[in-house]
Chain A
Amino acid sequence: MTETTSVLGGAVRRREDPALIRGTGKYTDDVNPTGTLHVAFVRSPFAKAKILSIDTTAAAEAAGVVAVYTAEDVRHLGPLPAQVPVRPRPLLADGQVAHAGEAVAMVVATDRYLAQDAAELVFVDYEDQAPVIDLKAAQAGDVKAHDDMDSNVIISWAGGPFGDEEAIAATRAGISAAKEREDAVVVSLEMTNQRLIPTAIEPRSVHAEWNAGYGEFRVHSSTQIAHALAGAIARVFGLANSAVHLTAPEVGGGFGAKLNIYPDEILTCFAARSLGRPVKFTETRREAAVSTIHGRGWVATATITGTRDGEILGYELEGVADMGAYTQNFTAAIPFLGLFIGSGQYTMPTYWKVDCVLTNTVVTDAYRGAGRPEAEYYLERIVDAYAREIGMDPADVRKKNYFDTFQDAISPIGFAMDTGDYAKNLDALLAFADYDGLKADRDRMRAEGRLVGIGLSSYVEVCGFGPSGLAELGFSWSEYNLPSSFNGSALLRVTPEGGATLSIGTGPSGQGHETTWAQIVNRETGIPLDRIRVLHGDTKDSPTGIGSFGSRSLAVDGAAAHEASQKVTAKASKIAAHLLEAAEEDIRFGDGAAHVAGSPDASVTWAEIAKAAYQPHLLPEGLEGSLEAHALFSPGNATWPFGSHIAMVEVDPDTGDVTLLRYIGMDDCGNVVNPMIVDGQLHGGAAQGIGQALHEHGIYDDMGNLLTTSLVDYLIPTAATLPAFELARTVTPTHVNPLGVKGIGEAGTIGSAQTIVNAVVDAVAHLGVRHIDMPLRPKRVWQAIQDAKGA
């Protein structure tokens, strides 16, 4: 059903894929200069313990070992840099460990096997302590994650509106009053949004070389934020940013887990500099479960107060979010991203408060959606429960409470939203899915005794960060020696033979940026796609760059690419006008050449224009040589994509097994450059939301042991467990960037988990089930049915 062309481009095949499919793409672990040393870490088996002593003697004497480091050796480098450093982490545990798997010592050896062998010879004497793992226990605070803390709660995010205590109190009073109304219906559920372990196909890897002669680091890392990592390294070692050349080569998935600075990245640089040899660390799959951030991990109670006829009078969310043992890049800010969209697409007064607590677990941070899947999950689950309570169709309840079509509306949480047309989108979904027919199908199957359910959910999200003003809200890149802004950066150079090279500030990890950015440059300049090269994820190619995360790349750096293309084209127009002896305003670009309006035969190719640009004597007087432009783009607002999803599921009453029969989406990300790539983003995004709904769960026992460190126990969705996605779009462009585009990288995740849970609850609600916490593994669904039967 999806169209294959768009106003901005078309379904151009991904130019990245041949290298990735044929195995010729280069990843960080492929970087192997002669003499590279390898790192293995000694990791704590305890969630919380004092380190009484560390004996590295045997390890240091083991075969192949070049160095063994502990906190003593690296203390002078300071803690790990972070944007919101509420509880920054030491590079190596220093006298105390705060989560199982925390690195205590670092072994450097001539090969990875010998390093691992020697790591087993490091003897650490621990005095283990009672950890705090459970979120509510952490909030209560009887046990502290760190002994020097008065409270585990490090910050609370509240609205709305955000940041106005008096107004928040008034909102609460208003909702309390609404509850007293005679026609008031109050529906409340406590729900868990479980801890997830981001699972990129490529684990993280970092390779560092130090050139003492040049005083320069050469670093490769599997990161989403090349410039920030380079800046962090520069800051730690007291160097100029330009003394750190950092490349993020092919990155095999990031999902926010590589939107971070990790101790191992700093430590690998430290070892390379100390030893004067190349050093590499590549985490193993099992190690990644404790050495890379986790996501989600919330418990919250959502409450809707409304009337019997579907008018929502107030929404309240009160909860606690798990930060893990420390704060890394964005850790404590993740729930804030949820608060941004705390009232969803609705107009009702909203009170929202989430306490951020430290626990003795792996640090949490951004994972695809980052706060927004949690926010939409709670809201859209409770809207569904409310619709069920009053016996109204969930589509009708939603439409009744949506914002009308708008431009620049202020949400009840207090944030300005760019554009929205929610009812149109939901109506389009209902038509596309044949909602009435779907319900008839469901009812027919139910009549056969089958447990079939339909789940509906809509979402708005906020992405495309974004505005320079975000720095005022506490997001700052200055900890990484970068300007405190979220600007996009694009440097477009027309090469002497008439092709073009675009150096972009993003760092893709599979999103197809090389294709999309080339389409943007091609559309504006007319330079053929196959003559446009896109360079990314490298601090030497691009003057600056914030990286790829928060569905920001197209809306910010893509817009910068558009503006750089315009600047280059403007100058090229002058050159072409001169060469063609035509008026500048008559010059039109297309098909690899500049043409003169009204004179079909008069044209000059990009090769001829470039030739003139690089031979200044051919230029008109007053025009300098070269043909390139650097554009920084800072939008006035983030973008607010939205959409609606429907899932149809069947539950096996004997086993609780959930089968996904249909998954239908109607998403709106404004204008689309490459429809195929947008669909691909939605497929992957929805797969991860469905993974959370049905399978994924990072499980800790009471002592803080992570029980799900392999893919045998941490279950991710597979192609075999997913249906064929049925997708279509509405198009509501934004005005905050010149392309009219909104982000789409996370929308599929933000819209999907609650759609699945709503569908499963619909299938078993008549048995008395109100809610089942994710993941909806067969055992939980079966148990919920048994419990309802017993009740």
Chain B
Amino acid sequence: MYARPFDYAAPSSLEEALDLLSANPDAKVMSGGMSLLPMMKLRLLSPTLVIDIGRIPGLDEIVDQGDHIAIGALVTHAEVAASDLIAAQATALGQAAAWTGDAQVRNRGTLCGAVAHADLAADTPATTLALGATMVARSTRGEREIAAEEFFVDTLQSALEPDEILTEVRIPKRGGGSAYDKLGRRGGHTDYAVAGVAVWVADATGSDARVAVTGVGTKPQLATAVMDALGAGTPIEEAAARATEGMTVLEDLHGSEAYKAHLAAVFTGRAYAAARENAR
């Protein structure tokens, strides 16, 4: 629990942070530090420089931009969970944020940090997939937008380039309804997801469903087989059984491949029903 030596910088502007990051390819960007610091303390990760973006003004807001909700890089899980705007327009994200970690983690950890960390069992990334979010990445080279489905590349690997900072997550205001449900490691909604599923539907009949799973495979990902089946009119009971089709399901201490695939199907059904309810 003692990190290797590293330098620390706390820039006061995004430009300064981007310059530092551009000049130090081994640097790591820190917002809440809830994932980065434990990895450093375990010496699993030893960046030469930590760039703490926590003091940069203007990144800590949730803003209604008309057609989308913009969530800044320093917005915490607790703030996401407490937002009326998110509860109304992106219910699944609010639920996932509320069920992330514990109160201390939610008070320090950030949505953008969790998304950039790309943990295979994190809650909120699955909801960004179901809600069709767009990630905004900045570097000294400029700004680009990355669709959620392009963002999660592999375990702990996102589409961010080494010189990019995730400055914002944009959740489109698509209407309809959404929901997230999971089984946590201590049961219920506690802890990391053994399996978690986020669903968005266009209306109470469940049209145009978008379904994303987390916890079971190498990364949070869209359950395209379920989405296709539902689109083709397959009943949810049957469609949900295809929740992990095409995915690599990983056995771990908390479940076998078969059990985790089964859980993905169970929570697909539950989240789908809840999303339809929320679309009323």
Binding site for B on A (CB under 8 A): 40, 112-113, 116-117, 284-287, 654-655, 657-659, 694-695, 699, 707-708, 710, 712-713, 715, 717-718, 720-721, 777-779, 782-783
Contact = CB atoms under 8 A, between A and B. Distances in A.
Nearest to B103: A720
30 contacts: A113-B2, A113-B3, A117-B4, A117-B5, A286-B1, A286-B42, A654-B266, A655-B183, A655-B263, A655-B266, A657-B183, A659-B188, A694-B187, A699-B253, A710-B42, A715-B186, A717-B186, A718-B102, A718-B190, A720-B188, A720-B190, A721-B187, A777-B187, A777-B254, A778-B187, A778-B255, A779-B254, A779-B256, A782-B262, A783-B256
A699 B4 CA distance: 28
Nearest to A111: B2
A283 to B, nearest CB: 9
A391 B127 CA distance: 49
Contacts, number: 61
B190 A721 contact: yes
B1 A721 contact: no
Interface string B182-204: 01011110111010000000000
A286 B266 CA distance: 34
Contacts of A694: 186-187
A708 B252 CA distance: 12
B190 A707 contact: no
Contacts of A778: 183, 187, 194, 255
Nearest to B121: A712
A433 B173 CA distance: 51
B244 to A, nearest CB: 15
Contact of B5 (A113, A285, A655, A707): A113
A113 B43 CA distance: 11
Nearest to B2: A116
A657 B187 contact: yes
A658 B186 CA distance: 9
A657 B135 CA distance: 35
Contacts of B259: 779, 782-783
Contacts of A707: 253
Q: Is chain B's interface secondary structure helix, strand, loop, or mixed overall?
A: loop
A773 to B, nearest CB: 15
Among B253, B254, B255, B266: residue with most chain A CB under 10 A: B253
Going nearest first, the 10 A-B pairs with the smallest beta carbon separation are A284-B1, A116-B2, A779-B255, A657-B187, A654-B266, A113-B2, A779-B259, A655-B183, A721-B186, A715-B186
B42 A658 contact: no
Contacts of B263: 655
B253 to A, nearest CB: 6
B1 A657 contact: no
A592 B5 CA distance: 60
A783 B262 CA distance: 11
A116 B2 CA distance: 7
A284 B3 CA distance: 12
Interface of B: 1-5, 42, 102, 183, 185-188, 190-192, 194, 253-256, 259, 262-263, 266
Contacts of B255: 778-779
A717 B187 CA distance: 10
Contacts of A659: 187-188
Given A779-B255, A783-B259, A285 B188 contact: no
Nearest to A40: B2
Contact of A657 (B188, B191, B256, B262): B188
Contacts of A712: 192
Contacts of A779: 194, 254-256, 259
Given A694-B187, A778-B183, 19 more contacts: A40-B2, A112-B2, A113-B3, A117-B5, A284-B1, A286-B42, A655-B263, A657-B183, A658-B187, A659-B187, A659-B188, A707-B253, A708-B253, A715-B186, A718-B186, A777-B187, A777-B254, A779-B256, A779-B259
Contacts of B190: 718, 720-721
Nearest to A691: B186
Contacts of B253: 699, 707-708, 713
B214 to A, nearest CB: 16
A284 B2 contact: yes
A715 B191 CA distance: 10
A461 to B, nearest CB: 27
B131 to A, nearest CB: 24
Contacts of B3: 113
Contacts of B192: 712
Residue among A113, A657, A659 with the highest chain B CB neighbour number at 10 A: A657
A117 B266 CA distance: 47
Nearest to A781: B187
A776 to B, nearest CB: 9
Contacts of A782: 259, 262
Contacts of A783: 256, 259
Contacts of A654: 266
Contacts of A717: 186
Contact of A721 (B2, B5, B188, B262): B188
Contacts of B254: 777, 779
Contact of A285 (B1, B185, B262): B1
Contacts of B194: 778-779
A123 B253 CA distance: 32
Contacts of B262: 782
B270 to A, nearest CB: 8
A360 to B, nearest CB: 21
B185 A715 contact: yes
A112 B3 CA distance: 10
Interface centre among A287, A710, A779 (most CB of B within 10 A): A779
Contacts of A777: 187, 254
A455 to B, nearest CB: 17
Nearest to A38: B2
Among B1, B5, B262, chain A packs the most CB atoms within 10 A around the CB of: B1
Contacts of B102: 718
B197 to A, nearest CB: 12
Contacts of A113: 2-3, 5
B77 to A, nearest CB: 16
Contacts of B5: 113, 117
A712 B121 CA distance: 12
A285 B41 CA distance: 11
Contacts of A286: 1, 42
Contacts of A713: 253
A777 B255 CA distance: 9
Nearest to B41: A284
Contacts of A718: 102, 186, 190
Contacts of A116: 2
